[in-house]
């Protein structure tokens, strides 16, 4: 019986930590290039991953298949189903992806979102939301573009009645700030290439102190994932030498929305108070202009 596309990735994710180092290379390649696998022979996959044919066969067997051919056929069948069900969508069908920069970038972002929808295990997503709602306070952390994203998540969570704050890189480091967190707090780490050592160490230190850690990163094998209770994998490929944030933004909105849906009464109360504060501020500004 064939499993779904998400089922294939689910099998990989379930067995990932138990895989030998060379088989993790195969897993990473399949996760990041799933749509190419149906068109590769075992020898071609061996060349692409730098892993022996025998190891590829053992990898397939280890995650629940008779061999590589069954694994490849499963991915191929599910890919056909996704196309038939229009789970994969494109921009300006029939127009070359390289026709202009705007179209090329838009297609890349669409690809990132499509891949992210298939990569994120729904149980992991639900677990992350559950941890957020059960925590006393949520702290988000990241450097570079990850800092901006972590700030947006903290803001979004505050808007839906979650006590959240973004760790600022000011007079003290993230690791120093972790020392003052409480056992029921939660740290959400944003970690994308090039991975910040400080961010990874923050996750490690929080984990050692018994504080819950959720990582939002680009692959299950990312350094921060080793110290996380839950890992949410997001595709962030970009035409530039930076990380794209379209798919990450979708995930941030989804997390905040799910938190609001699961905590409607409190979220509505906070929204009402925020509207009242906004009205008071607008009134003050209006009176000041008069």
Q: Convert the pLDDT of each residue in 192-203 to its tens digit.
A: 988 889 999 999
Question: Stretch 24-39: mean pLDDT, rounded?
Answer: 83
Check whether 137 has a pLDDT greater than 80: yes
Check whether 2 has a pLDDT greater than 50: no
- Are 148 and 255 in the same domain? yes
- Are 255 and 136 in the same domain? yes
Instruction: Taking each helix axis as running N to C, give the angle between helix 21-32 and helix 5-15, from 0 to 180 degrees, rounded to the nearest 10.
Output: 160
In a domain, 63, yes or no: yes
Beta pairing, strands 212-217 & 186-191: parallel
Rounded (5°) CA angle 284-286-288: 70
In a domain, 156, yes or no: yes
- Are 43 and 148 in the same domain? no
Question: Stretch 132-154: mean pLDDT, rounded?
Answer: 94
Question: Stretch 178-204: mean pLDDT, rounded?
Answer: 93
Give the pLDDT of residue 262: 86
Residues 6+ apart with CB under 8 A from 25: 49, 50, 51
- On average, the pLDDT of the chain sits at 84
- Are 65 and 131 in the same domain? no
> What single DSSP character describes residue 85?
T
Check whether 216 has a pLDDT greater than 90: yes
Question: Stretch 255-282: mean pLDDT, rounded?
Answer: 74
Q: Whole domain around residue 41: which residue ranges?
A: 5-88
Give the pLDDT of residue 153: 97
Check whether 286 has a pLDDT greater than 70: no
Check whether 92 has a pLDDT greater than 50: no
Check whether 134 has a pLDDT greater than 70: yes
Residues forming beta bridges with residue 213, ordered by sequence position? 187
In a domain, 278, yes or no: no
In a domain, 117, yes or no: no
Spatial distance between the Cα atoms of 171 and 194, rounded to a whole number of angstroms: 23
- Are 252 and 136 in the same domain? yes
Give the pLDDT of residue 273: 67
In a domain, 36, yes or no: yes
- Are 55 and 135 in the same domain? no
- Dig out the tokens for 127 from the structure: 């677990």
Which stretches of the chain are DSSP H helices?
Answer: 5-15, 21-32, 42-49, 53-62, 68-84, 101-119, 122-134, 145-159, 174-178, 197-208, 246-262, 264-289
Give the pLDDT of residue 3: 46
Spatial distance between the Cα atoms of 139 and 228, rounded to a whole number of angstroms: 14
Give the pLDDT of residue 257: 93
- Are 13 and 138 in the same domain? no
Residues forming beta bridges with residue 129, ordered by sequence position? none
Encode burial over 207-234: b for 16+ CB neighbours within 10 A, e otherwise: beeebbbbbbbbbbbbbbbebbbbbbbb
Check whether 119 has a pLDDT greater than 90: no
The number of folded domains in the chain is 2
Give the residue, 195 or 137, on which the prediction is more confident. 137
Q: How far apart are the first and last CA of the chain?
A: 74
Question: Stretch 114-119: mean pLDDT, rounded?
Answer: 86
Check whether 31 has a pLDDT greater than 70: yes
- Are 234 and 164 in the same domain? yes
| Helix/strand/coil for 45 | helix
């Amino acid at each position: 019986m064939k499993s779904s596309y998400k089922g294939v990735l689910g099998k990989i994710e379930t067995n990932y930590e138990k895989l030998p180092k060379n088989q993790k290379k195969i897993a990473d390649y399949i996760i990041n290039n799933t749509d190419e696998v149906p068109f590769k022979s075992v020898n071609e996959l061996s060349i692409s991953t730098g892993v022996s044919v025998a190891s590829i066969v053992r990898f397939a067997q280890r995650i629940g298949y008779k061999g590589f051919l069954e694994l490849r056929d499963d991915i191929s069948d599910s890919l056909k189903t996704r196309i038939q069900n229009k789970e994969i969508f494109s921009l300006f069908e029939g127009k070359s992806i390289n026709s202009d920069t705007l179209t090329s970038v838009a297609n890349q972002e669409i690809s990132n979102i499509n891949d992210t929808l298939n990569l994120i295990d729904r149980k992991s997503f639900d677990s992350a939301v559950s941890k957020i709602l059960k925590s006393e306070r949520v702290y988000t952390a990241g450097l570079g573009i990850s800092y901006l994203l972590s700030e947006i998540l903290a803001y979004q969570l505050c808007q839906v009645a979650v006590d959240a704050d973004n760790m600022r890189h000011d007079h003290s480091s993230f690791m120093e700030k972790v020392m003052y967190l409480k056992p029921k707090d939660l740290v959400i780490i944003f970690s994308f290439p090039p991975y910040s050592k400080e961010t990874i160490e923050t996750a490690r230190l929080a984990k050692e102190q018994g504080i819950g850690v959720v990582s939002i990163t680009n692959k299950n094998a990312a350094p921060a994932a080793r110290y996380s209770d839950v890992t949410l994998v997001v595709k962030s490929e970009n035409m530039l030498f930076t990380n794209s944030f379209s798919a990450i933004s979708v995930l941030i909105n989804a997390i905040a929305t799910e938190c609001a849906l699961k905590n409607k009464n409190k979220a509505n109360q906070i929204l009402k108070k925020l509207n009242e504060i906004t009205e008071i501020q607008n009134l003050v500004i209006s009176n000041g202009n008069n």
